[in-house]
Every structure is written in C-alpha cells, then in structure tokens.
C-alpha cells in the first residue's frame, strides 16, 4: 500500500487518460522545442540587427523580428527555456519549504501549527501580483529575485496541501506501526509520509508551474522582473508591448507561445489529478 503510487504506474495510466495524454504531448513538444530548437535556429538570440527591426512574420522569420532586429522565434525558444527554469526553481523552492512547513505543522502541531497556518493565511490574503510587486521593490529586479518572489508566493499553497494530506496519512496503520517500532519522527516523515503525499504535491507542482510562468511574465512585463538582455517570455512581451503599434506580432505571438506552454502544463496537471484523486480518496476512506 505504501508504495502504491509510484510514478511508473502513473505514467502507464497517463497514456490511457485523454486529457493527460494531450497535456503530456504538448509539454513534451515544448520541452523538445526549447531543448533542440535553439541549436536548429540559424539566428543568434542576442544578435542585434538594426537594419531589420520590427519586420512582420515571413519565411525567414516566422514570428517576425523585434525592436532590436532579433528573430522573435529564436528568442521565444531561449526565452521559454529561461522562463521555465525560473519557474521550476521558484516552485521547487517554494514547494520544498512549503512542504517542510506543512508536514512539520501537521506532525508537530500545537504552537508551530498555529503560527505556520496564520502565516499561510496572511500570505493568502494578499493579491498575488501586489505581493510579488512589493517583494520586487525590496529585493531589486533580476532573475534570482523573481525566483524568490515565486517561491514566497507558493510556500503557503504547498504548506496547506502538505499539512492536510499529512493529517490524513498520519493516522494510517503503517505510520502508527512505525511509531510503535520507535522510529524517529524525521525518519517517519521522510520514509513513510512523504512518499504517500507526493502525488498531490506533484499535481500542485505541475499546475503551480503553469501559474509561475504567468507570474514571471507579469513581473517582467511590468519591467520589474527579469531584465534584458536575458531573454524571458515576459521580457519579450514587455518589449513587444512598447512597440505594439509598429509590430503587434512580437507581443501576440510570444504570448501565444507562452499560452501553449501553460496549456500543456495545465492539461497534464488535470490529467494527473484525475488519475491520482480517486486513489487518495480510497486511501483516506480505508
């Protein structure tokens, strides 16, 4: 029972779930594109060519060129790579800390639980962009601070989820057996509880990743996030916004690419939730 939800089983079942399959397909496509795409592109993402600025889409430049005369498609591929990396690191960081807080909260309880959950409520009471924006003002702009902002935004989500799932798992017979056998708390948390709450956390990770990309894009769009010359989807959209009337394709097509990426992640998350949810329910009922 304890090892029922391995990722191997999940993957096998994924193929049978239509939504998840489409999501997996899109995500795989996006990952392949940003992994291989840049090396196939004949353009350097940071090469400025002021003789060819803001050119509309053509065969040579399927997404047109931006205000520096750079090929937008090439930059989208590099930019998506950065955006995705920033989001992954941010969510992993936030997810890790959040899970730690949540599990400790559920396991230790009492004052720790009370304080941690008040903190969670507090962060949950701030509009996301307002919170992120204020953080950027203090931290300063740039890649690392976008990651920190994303992490802070996500800590409460994971903390709450980890706490609630740990509460359920905690009362399972095998956890209690481990306690009786005198295993240490840390060992129980890592060995017994974590593997059994990993599935919903993973779903949250996928969906969180999707929204983290939007946060990165939004902050950079406002000029507070990633800064040029580092390409990210948000930076490129900010640039596209400034030259929207001369070259609307920069903003619209970059946004479209962003949307496809997020769509893939959302569908994948949905599919995974469908697959994993019944299992969770069965266990908690047992």
Q: Which residues bind another protein (CB under 8 A)?
A: 19, 48, 50, 54, 67-68, 118, 121-122, 124-131, 133-135, 137-138, 140-142, 210, 214, 217-218, 221-224, 227-229, 237-239, 241-246, 248, 251-252, 255, 258-260, 262-263, 266-267, 270
- Cis ω for the linkage preceding 229 (within 30 of 0): yes
Beta carbon of residue 232, minimum distance to another protein (angstroms, whole number): 13
φ/ψ of 244, rounded to 5, equals -60, -40
Beta carbon of residue 179, minimum distance to another protein (angstroms, whole number): 31
Beta carbon of residue 12, minimum distance to another protein (angstroms, whole number): 22
Beta carbon of residue 24, minimum distance to another protein (angstroms, whole number): 14
Q: Distance of CA 2 to CAs 170, 186, 200, 283, 284, Å?
A: 12, 17, 15, 10, 13
Q: Which residue lies nearer to another protein by CB, 94 or 188?
A: 94
Helix axes 72-108, 143-170, angle to 10 degrees: 40
Q: Which residue lies nearer to another protein by CB, 163 or 170?
A: 163
Q: Which residue lies nearer to another protein by CB, 102 or 225?
A: 225
Q: Which residue lies nearer to another protein by CB, 165 or 189?
A: 165
Q: Which residue lies nearer to another protein by CB, 67 or 179?
A: 67
Contacts of 57 (CB under 8 A, 6+ apart): 63, 64, 249, 253
DSSP secondary structure of 193-218: IHHHHHHHHHHHHHHHHHHHHHHHHH
């Amino acid at each position: 029972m304890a090892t029922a939800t391995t990722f191997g089983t999940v993957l096998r079942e994924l193929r049978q779930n239509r939504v998840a399959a489409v999501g997996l397909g899109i995500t795989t496509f996006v990952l392949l594109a940003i992994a291989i795409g840049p090396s196939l592109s004949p353009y350097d993402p940071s090469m400025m060519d002021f003789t060819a600025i803001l050119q509309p889409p053509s065969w040579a430049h399927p997404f047109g060129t931006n205000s520096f005369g750079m090929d937008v498609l090439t930059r989208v591929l590099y930019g998506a790579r950065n955006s995705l990396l920033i989001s992954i690191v941010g969510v992993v960081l936030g997810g890790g800390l959040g899970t730690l807080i949540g599990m400790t909260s559920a396991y230790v309880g009492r004052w720790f639980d009370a304080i941690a959950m008040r903190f969670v409520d507090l962060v949950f009471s701030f509009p996301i962009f307002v919170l992120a924006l204020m953080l950027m003002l203090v931290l300063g702009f740039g890649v690392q601070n976008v990651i920190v902002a994303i992490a802070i935004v996500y800590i409460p989500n994971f903390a709450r989820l980890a706490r609630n799932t740990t509460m359920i798992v905690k009362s399972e017979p095998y956890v209690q057996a481990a306690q009786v056998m005198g295993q240490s708390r840390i060992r129980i948390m890592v060995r017994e509880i974590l593997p059994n709450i990993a599935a919903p956390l993973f779903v949250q990770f996928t969906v969180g990743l999707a929204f983290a990309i939007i946060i990165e894009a939004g902050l950079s769009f406002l000029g507070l996030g990633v800064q040029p010359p580092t390409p990210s989807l948000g930076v490129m959209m900010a640039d596209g916004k400034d030259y929207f009337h001369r070259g609307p394709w920069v903003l619209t097509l970059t946004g479209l690419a962003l949307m496809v990426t997020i769509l893939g992640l959302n569908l994948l998350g949905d599919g995974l939730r469908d697959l994993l949810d019944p299992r969770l329910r069965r266990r908690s009922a047992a």
